[in-house]
Structure 1
Amino acid sequence: MRGRVWFPTLGLVAWLCCLSLEPVQGGKVLVLPVDGSHWLSMKLLVEELTLRGHEVEVLVPESSLLIKGSKSHKTEIYKVPFTQAELEKNFNRLRESIFDKAPDITDIPVMPNMVFIGGINCAKKAPLPADLQEFVDGSGDDGFIVFTMGSMVSDMPDVKAKLFIDAFRQIPQRVLWRYTGGLIDDMPKNVRVLKWLPQNDLLAHPKARVFMTHGGTHGIYEGICNGVPMLMFPLFGDQSDNVDRMVHRGVAKKLSIFEMTTESLVIALKEMINNKSYKEKMAKLSEIHLDRPAKPLDLAAFWTEFVMRHKGAAHLRVAGHDLNSIQYHNLDVFGIFVVILVVVLWLELKFCLFCVRKCGRKGTGKKKSE
């Protein structure tokens, strides 16, 4: 978290001004979401805007992983140059290879007109289903562990899965594992496998001891909001950077999914559970994160309505949009450097030729005199 200089009085006045603004009445919002886990956060904002009386229409690709239609808002299906089968085939190929080598996925840059709404997915908590409530309540003083590799990765090679299963067999904590792969016959009694689990609701339980996660943004904020230390296995994208930040703050421990062993996993789990500093530092980080003037969902709704009130908020546009291609790619700057370089080289060449002529004339004059 970067340090910033705050001006309390000015900030309070600005915030009161924001609160005094009336919400947009009957606004129209067109949403073009990104597929995958990004949609899980966008869906919360879409639902909130609908509750505030806005007419929201979501553009849904005819082939997608997580984006579906909904009764709470209008949807418009648009064609894409691939079928659902092709999409799932390509993604399954990625998922199968992800535990052998991390894919090369470029991070998206952060622009000045972006608003950070981390933790938007932590706001709503619901009671646990009766069977899960009984399972976690029965974990006693040892507590339980939540294990999931995110919404996009629900299984893994059997060899990797066995490493985790053998490790869980050696700890007293109960484990809730989101996993859709093949199961072994002698699954430990302290492990319950689910195709989907209410992650945020489980982490909010007081007996949650460790959150085993891949380091995705959603999972990290749910761990922070609920004050649960994390054992992290980054796979791709921004996850490695996310994990390093959590490890630096002393609230997480990192293991490589490609190099881990059953022994290293058991040692890491025991250290995180027995070393109270992880829990204490996470509780402090959670307190700081939750101490804010507005909830992330309200902040996202405010800025959406702000743009609507100000007809697109042209003053927030990034200046790069107004640059031509020469300016945007700094070709004019490179052009000046090239001209300077050519002039310098030309002057050096002229100087060298001048020196050669001078030396040549002196040599000729000396021979004549002799």
Structure 2
Amino acid sequence: MPAQWMSLLLLLLQMTCYFRSGNCGKVLVWPTEYSHWLNLNIILDELTERGHEVTVLRPSASMTFMERVRNMICMLYFDFWFQSLNEKKWDQFYSETLGRHTTLAETIGKAEMWLIRSYWDLEFPRPTLPNVDYVGGLHCKPAKPLPKEMEDFVQSSGEHGVVVFSLGSMVSNMTEEKANTIAWALAQIPQKVLWRFEGKTPDTLGPNTRIYKWLPQNDLLGHPKTKAFVTHGGANGIYEAIHFGIPMIGIPLFGEQHDNIAHMVAKGAAVALNFRTMTRLDLLNALEAVIDNPSYKENAMWLSTIHNDQPMKPLDRAIFWIEFVMRHKGAKHLRPLAYNLTWYQYYSLDVIGFLLACVAVITFLAVKSSLFIYQKLLKMGKKMKNE
């Protein structure tokens, strides 16, 4: 599996739960980082509404006042910007909590069910295990009305419609040169553009483009006047575009974003650009191709049809499996026995070693036997000559 799985082990719930009266359980959650928390938070809200008691893990220790001040600053920094995963601290935290030595990797390996933030509208077919379910797009919901000022701007686009441009929350700045490159290309199209950008206003910004520090992305992508989505390829944005059938111009920046955009390109719903080497004409040509060529819209709508034609909504499916694990106190019947093997057993190194040893012994005995017989025959030959 490509780099996609690394980010997507990212919707893993580490749960220790039991049932109380009323069929409500306790859920212990290991929080994930970046945009994955948005998906996880939706699941936790639904579990809370169903009466389950949810606890999110945070390491704690005895701290001085200044240490608590620093801890609060760090907590806010990680909560609102990013949360880095420090395995050594998590290993220590789990060991102290459980009263025995353990590791984060060992705890993850005991997960009864894996909920992967993807689905077959984005992924390509491949074998999967029964304790893995794909719940990509669980955060998607019907579009809500836009703020009046934004709605007026969108409606002013007339028959040309609008383009939504967002490179995600992780990009807070870019060079003035790059911003001017983007702004110039956006100014050349007849569509109105809503651009999420927090840097200095580019000199080449056109009258058709408005800059916002934040955009109601789901609501904009669900607006009937939206023609295209310029995105960095984050899973949340990709799935919102798929949900509403919006073709994309992908400008991946890091991580699984390259893989996400490559999948969309392969499915005919996007054009990919390189952020570092992209010129103004590259961006303009990509915009015109996606907006003017109907095949991109048709393919995006095809993916939307696949995404929305499921027997259960992704969120309902995620909740079902979480409550399934609660009801049955696990899902060991779905876990492959490979989880119980050591690393050398998993790769059959002990079996291979045994067979090689057998081959070596048989070869050794065969060679020794051949030499012994040869020597006997040689002695017999010499004896017969002497006689």
Give the TM-score, by structure 1 length. Answer: 0.73
Q: CA deviation at 1:134?
A: 1.4
* Residue-by-residue CA offset, 1:13-59 (whole Å, 9 max, x unaligned): xxxxxxxxxx9733211111211111010011111111111111222
Q: 1:240 to 1:48 in 2, by over 3 A?
A: same
Q: CA deviation at 1:359?
A: 11
- Matched residues, number: 310
- Structure 1 residue runs of 5 or longer lacking an equivalent are 1-22, 69-77, 83-108
* Residue-by-residue CA offset, 1:279-310 (whole Å, 9 max, x unaligned): 11211221121011211111111111111111
Equivalent in the alignment of 1:192? 210
Kindly indicate whether residue 140 of structure 2 is the aligned counterpart of residue 122 of structure 1. yes
Equivalent in the alignment of 2:259? 241
Residue 335 of structure 1 is aligned with which of 328, 353, 364? 353
Letter in 2 for 1:128: L
Equivalent in the alignment of 2:309? 291
Kindly indicate whether residue 327 of structure 2 is the aligned counterpart of residue 309 of structure 1. yes
Equivalent in the alignment of 2:45? 47
Letter in 1 for 2:165: F
Aligned partners of 1:200 and 1:222 also within 8 Å:
yes
Letter in 1 for 2:167: M
Find the residue that maps to 1:302 and give its secondary structure.
helix
Aligned partners of 1:30 and 1:57 also within 8 Å:
yes
Q: CA deviation at 1:235?
A: 2.5
Aligned partners of 2:196 and 2:212 also within 8 Å:
yes
- RMSD after superposition: 3.3
* Residue-by-residue CA offset, 1:111-163 (whole Å, 9 max, x unaligned): 64121111111125332122211111111111111111223234323332222
Q: Distance in 1 between matches of 2:200 and 2:374?
A: 82
Aligned partners of 1:24 and 1:309 also within 8 Å:
no
Q: Distance in 2 between matches of 1:238 and 1:179?
A: 22
Residue 155 of structure 1 is aligned with which of 165, 170, 173? 173
Find the residue that maps to 1:57 and give its secondary structure.
strand
Find the residue that maps to 1:176 and give its secondary structure.
strand
Q: 1:154 to 1:334 in 2, by over 3 A?
A: farther
Q: 1:141 to 1:160 in 2, by over 3 A?
A: same
Letter in 2 for 1:165: A
Letter in 2 for 1:141: E
Kindly, what percent of the aligned residue pairs are identical?
47
Equivalent in the alignment of 2:33? 35
Find the residue that maps to 1:147 and give its secondary structure.
strand
Q: CA deviation at 1:318?
A: 3.7
Q: CA deviation at 1:234?
A: 2.2
Letter in 1 for 2:189: I
Q: 1:120 to 1:66 in 2, by over 3 A?
A: farther
Q: CA deviation at 1:266?
A: 0.8
Residue 230 of structure 1 is aligned with which of 228, 231, 248? 248
Q: Distance in 1 between matches of 2:291 and 2:373?
A: 79
Aligned partners of 1:177 and 1:193 also within 8 Å:
yes
Letter in 2 for 1:330: S
Q: Distance in 1 between matches of 2:377 and 2:285?
A: 79
Letter in 2 for 1:295: K
Kindly indicate whether residue 141 of structure 2 is the aligned counterpart of residue 141 of structure 1. no
Residue 174 of structure 1 is aligned with which of 192, 198, 203? 192
- Structure 2 residue runs of 5 or longer lacking an equivalent are 1-20, 60-70, 81-85, 91-126
Equivalent in the alignment of 1:59? 57
Q: Distance in 2 between matches of 1:173 and 1:54?
A: 47
Q: CA deviation at 1:330?
A: 3.0
Q: Distance in 1 between matches of 2:214 and 2:377?
A: 87
Q: CA deviation at 1:110?
A: 7.0
Q: 1:154 to 1:333 in 2, by over 3 A?
A: farther
Q: 1:213 to 1:359 in 2, by over 3 A?
A: farther
Aligned partners of 2:141 and 2:218 also within 8 Å:
no
Comparing 224-233 with 280-289, which one deviates more in the overlay?
A: 280-289
Q: 1:81 to 1:321 in 2, by over 3 A?
A: closer
Give the TM-score, by structure 2 length. Answer: 0.70
